[in-house]
Amino acid sequence: MSDSSPGQFIDLLKHHQTYKTYVAAKIRFKTVDKAWLYSFLQEDGLSVILNTLNALTKRKNLHMTDALVQLECVSLLKTVLNSRAGLEFLLEREDYSDHFAHSLITKNVMVKKQILELLSASVTTHSEATTWH
């Protein structure tokens, strides 16, 4: 996973939606360069993470492993959005607000809390950035 292209990485996230995959992804994202991250975002990688999160929120019978994957999806989102490129990418696309809204449907209170914190931080950061320009 450490030398995967953004496209290969996206395929891995699509087809191996496990706790282990998302933990490894979070570790990988802490070391990628801006060009790699930008390619990941352009190839719809953020949608893959959000779609996984939303698919898990729709399950009627959520298992413990599903709840752990949800938490790791949110953690990976935080890692991506902690970068300037990730945050700007999110804020430039209105369709992602629907993805986030759907993720709040989950019964997992920890996931809801983290999504709300993430959205709040994104809005605050965006407001501060536009105030200073």
Average pLDDT over residues 86-91: 82
Find the angle CA(78)-CA(130)-CA(125) to the nearest 5 degrees. Answer: 20
Q: Would you state the pLDDT for residue 3?
A: 78
Per-residue confidence band for 124, with pLDDT thresholds at 50, 70 and 90:
low
pLDDT computed for residue 104 by the predictor: 74
Which percentage of the chain shows pLDDT scores above 90?
23
Dump the DSSP string for 15-60: H--SHHHHHHHHHHHTT--HHHHHHHHHTTHHHHHHHHHHHHHT-S
Query: pLDDT digit string (tens) for 29-66?
Result: 888 998 999 999 999 999 999 889 888 877 777 788 88
pTM of the model: 0.78
DSSP string, 65-92: HHHHHHHHHHHHHHHHHTSHHHHHHHHH
Task: Identify the band that residue 94 occupies on the pLDDT scale cut at 50, 70 and 90.
Answer: confident
pLDDT at 132: 47
C-alpha closest to that of 24 among 36, 12, 33? 12
Above 90 in pLDDT, residue 98?
no
